[in-house]
Structure 1
Amino acid sequence: MMDNSEKLKNIVPLLALLTAFPAFSTDMILPAIPSLALMWNESIAVINLILICFFITYGFFLLFYGPISDRYGRRKPLIIGISLYIFASVLCAMANSAATLIAFRILQAAGAAASAALSMAMTKDIFSGAERQRILAYIAIIMALAPMFAPIVGGWLLTYFSWHWIFVAQGIMGAIGLLGVLRTPETLKEASQTPLSKVMHSYGNLLLNRNYVIMVLVMSVSLLPLYSFIAGSSALYINGFGLSEQNFSYFFAFNALALMAGSMSCLKLTDRMNPRHLITTGFAGIVIGAVLILVIGQRGPWSFAIPMALITYSIGISRPPSNHLVLEQVHKDAGSASSLLIFTYFTLGAMGMWLVSQEWMERMQILGSITLICGALTLVAWMILQKKGIAAGQ
């Protein structure tokens, strides 16, 4: 039986890597989006489908991996999913048009979906209570390195090689994750006895869990501005402010650093401050950042980056306790609960990506409006939930 120090040393880095798969798979390609649009003579809205279709497919397949892992364990679905991810990454590297790259990205997402949902389920398998909340904060800190370095690595690869090597790098990352899973024992202590034909019924039970559904929706809306920023950032910095692909990657990393700083602050403050107050502070910070983007965001890259950093910091400080609160609403079917949670994150995130890709108004105004509306909605909803006692699970 592993003690706590062994768990942290051996399991947490693997859990963080698995959770970071979507960040590596999306953020590494971001510096190439404007150049791909020019090379293939497509609009940004079309090229952004390599992000949007990835997110939608990723979320859809999460619904399958979770309950299957509750029935057969975490290792087998992870091995199958990561192997598919590696194969699809090689295909993406060989794509010769926007249509083929979008198709191969869909296949890549189908494999990557095994990682994030099952890593969260493994966290629930191994840790509990306040310890789980600390582990989620540790994972969030390590995971924040992915969006920080992924676009920088992508920018470097574009400087010295071609965009194809971005997907070669993702395949290598998948191989590292696969080796880690092969060396990790099964974490599920007691498998569900539900027959495979009925394994998806666990979602029906979760949808009847009123507190779980409400908390999932509120926390998912709070993340929608982050996904909108991911899809719109390269066009804003490269096309809007005229930055190079490499300089864009540094500005994107600055916002990722703010996300990590928020997670680190959460870790430091968890034992001193009520987690509900951390969530309230985070949601309020999103609203303030949105107002600043709408007022001063157009003035220059730093006038946009600093308010956006406040938003990502606020998300970072609120996400670990909010994820913990959501998981506290369920007592079984952790894989299904994790899958449905992340499915909702990515589905609403894809909606934000689609909205920010449109040409209804200036892209900066679209992003600021999305962030203000989502921040205000989640803050008001969160205050109501606390008054009604639904948020008392912490």
Structure 2
Amino acid sequence: MSGLSLVLLTVLMVASGQMTQTLYVPAMGDMAAALGVTSQALPLVMAFYLIPYGLFQFVYGPLSDRFGRRPVLLAGLSVYVLGSALILAWPSYIVLLLGSFIQGAGTAAAGSLCRSLMRDKFEGTDLVRYNGYVSMGIMLAPLLAPLIGGWLNLRFGWQSMYLFLFAMGLAITLVMVFFFRETLPAARRHAQPMLPAYRYVLHDAGFRRQLGMLIATFAGVILYEAVFSVLVAAQSGLSSAEISVLFILPLPLYFAGAMMASWKAGSWSVRRLQWLAGAGLLAGAVIVLGTAFDPRLAVAGLVLGGSLYFAGAGLLFPVATSRAVAPFPQHSGTAGALLGGSSNLGGGLFLLVQGGLPQMNQLVLGGLLLACAGLVVWFLLPGSEAVPEPGI
């Protein structure tokens, strides 16, 4: 497969997972009413999706290093389709949580392998560049998902969103069956047991630092996505379709951040790119927090602050991912699983902790985003480790 073909297939295989994460966000209020639960219960759906999405990546990654990428990917996508079918068959809140868990367990294969496939084919500056392309492509799904979800919910009800996910998951599985070719030749596979493989990767201090930055950044992104519609609905009274438009406004800035990572990979150092990303994260968090004190600026502050935070995340994700997996050509599945699994598991657990807070408002959201951005800067502060310049 050519580099462009691999990027397109990688974006496609991750699309179902990205859609699942944000499709229903504008419809949370309507879903809560239809299912007979409070609006505060709906972020748990995302948590029940993200926790297995993170946990099962720890399994899929090493398995793909041993048996190849293709069989692991096809098995995971099939499990995702099963979870979507379950939600359609028995529409209730409990089954929604269970089906979301199964969906996350299945699409974790794509989430893990999207990092490994690029490492299978590219190295150095090309690895950063193509990871940037993948990040840009992946953002098309969450950019479209809220608009599609808001429209489907208004026209046909919340179950139609899961019918859409079922059909899309089935279609993607079939495309992968016919068009995806193995990227890890048998000669490059290894049968190292799972725990020693993880110890080998985690022994690298640079990997641990990149992992910490990715976990902290993703926790802020997923928290913003989970509570945005609830906060905007409470402060503005907008419909789900109108909220979906506001929800996607920060996403093009993520796209711009990933684009900058691709364009500047050959001329800027990793450290310079990551400090710029950290500045974007901090600025976004401060704006969300600062505008929480004035109701007239609250919604605008949520959108503008979220946009800057997403720009920082879009820049950080491909750079940190490339820097983390670069030293591990024989363990890229394991390294990718650690990156994706830890980030998504951490994000899911973060949502569970947030659900236990007495209240969630813009002030709390801004404070938590600031904490996440501060952690990224903290991981960037050590200067003793040599970071190749430019690129990886």
- For the aligned pair, the TM-score class normalised by the smaller chain equals over 0.9
Structure 1 residue matching 2:249: 3-state secondary structure? helix
**C-alpha separation in 2, matches of 1:215 and 1:274:** 15
The answer for the alignment partner of 1:168 in structure 2 is 163
**C-alpha separation in 1, matches of 2:92 and 2:45:** 11
Alpha-carbon distance, 1:145 to partner: 0.9
Query: Match for 1:59 among 54, 61, 67?
Result: 54
The answer for the alignment partner of 2:350 in structure 1 is 352
Query: Match for 1:321 among 319, 322, 346?
Result: 319
**C-alpha separation in 2, matches of 1:296 and 1:211:** 36
Structure 1 unaligned regions, length at least 5? none
Q: Please tell me whether residue 192 in structure 1 is matched to residue 189 in structure 2.
A: yes
Q: Deviations over 1:184-205 (max 9, x none)?
A: 221102343427xx34531232
**C-alpha separation in 2, matches of 1:164 and 1:226:** 26
Please tell me the root mean square deviation across aligned C-alpha atoms, in Å: 1.9
User: Is 2:189–2:330's contact at 8 Å kept on the other side of the alignment?
Assistant: no
The answer for the alignment partner of 1:281 in structure 2 is 276
Amino acid at match of 1:319: F
Quick one: structure 1 residues 176 and 127, their matched pair in 2 at CA, closer, same or farther if it must change by over 3 Å?
farther
**C-alpha separation in 1, matches of 2:131 and 2:21:** 22
Q: Please tell me whether residue 262 in structure 1 is matched to residue 257 in structure 2.
A: yes
The answer for the alignment partner of 2:288 in structure 1 is 293
User: Is 2:151–2:241's contact at 8 Å kept on the other side of the alignment?
Assistant: yes
Alpha-carbon distance, 1:289 to partner: 1.4
Alpha-carbon distance, 1:380 to partner: 2.6
User: Is 1:67–1:200's contact at 8 Å kept on the other side of the alignment?
Assistant: no
**C-alpha separation in 1, matches of 2:40 and 2:262:** 38
**C-alpha separation in 1, matches of 2:350 and 2:365:** 9
Structure 2 residue matching 1:187: 3-state secondary structure? coil
Quick one: structure 1 residues 362 and 204, their matched pair in 2 at CA, closer, same or farther if it must change by over 3 Å?
closer
User: Is 2:287–2:304's contact at 8 Å kept on the other side of the alignment?
Assistant: no
Structure 2 residue matching 1:243: 3-state secondary structure? coil
**C-alpha separation in 1, matches of 2:388 and 2:266:** 17
Amino acid at match of 1:105: S
Query: Match for 2:13 among 7, 14, 18?
Result: 18
The answer for the alignment partner of 1:127 in structure 2 is 122
- Note the 1:25-40 alignment, pairs <5 A: 25-40=20-35
The answer for the alignment partner of 2:246 in structure 1 is 251
Structure 2 residue matching 1:42: 3-state secondary structure? coil
Amino acid at match of 2:335: A
**Identity fraction in percent:** 24
Amino acid at match of 2:180: T
Structure 1 residue matching 2:91: 3-state secondary structure? coil
The answer for the alignment partner of 2:339 in structure 1 is 341
Amino acid at match of 2:160: W
Quick one: structure 1 residues 180 and 119, their matched pair in 2 at CA, closer, same or farther if it must change by over 3 Å?
farther
Q: Deviations over 1:153-174 (max 9, x none)?
A: 0001011111111111112221
User: Is 2:9–2:180's contact at 8 Å kept on the other side of the alignment?
Assistant: no
Query: Match for 2:108 among 102, 105, 113?
Result: 113
The answer for the alignment partner of 2:385 in structure 1 is 389
Q: Please tell me whether residue 155 in structure 1 is matched to residue 153 in structure 2.
A: no
Q: Deviations over 1:336-369 (max 9, x none)?
A: 1100110111122113323444453452112101
The answer to which of 204-213 and 363-372 deviates more is 204-213
The answer for the alignment partner of 2:80 in structure 1 is 85
Quick one: structure 1 residues 234 and 390, their matched pair in 2 at CA, closer, same or farther if it must change by over 3 Å?
farther
User: Is 1:88–1:105's contact at 8 Å kept on the other side of the alignment?
Assistant: yes
Amino acid at match of 2:347: G
**C-alpha separation in 2, matches of 1:204 and 1:268:** 34
**C-alpha separation in 2, matches of 1:358 and 1:45:** 10
Q: TM-score, normalised by structure 2?
A: 0.93
The answer to which of 341-350 and 215-224 deviates more is 215-224
Q: Deviations over 1:297-344 (max 9, x none)?
A: 442422320111111111112221111111124342110110011011
The answer to which of 260-269 and 302-311 deviates more is 260-269
Query: Match for 2:135 among 118, 137, 140?
Result: 140
Q: Deviations over 1:362-382 (max 9, x none)?
A: 521121011111111211320
**C-alpha separation in 2, matches of 1:209 and 1:57:** 26
Alpha-carbon distance, 1:390 to partner: 5.2
Q: Deviations over 1:95-141 (max 9, x none)?
A: 33211110111111111111111122111111221111111111111
**C-alpha separation in 2, matches of 1:347 and 1:87:** 21
Alpha-carbon distance, 1:83 to partner: 1.1
The answer to which of 53-62 and 314-323 deviates more is 314-323
**C-alpha separation in 2, matches of 1:336 and 1:40:** 39
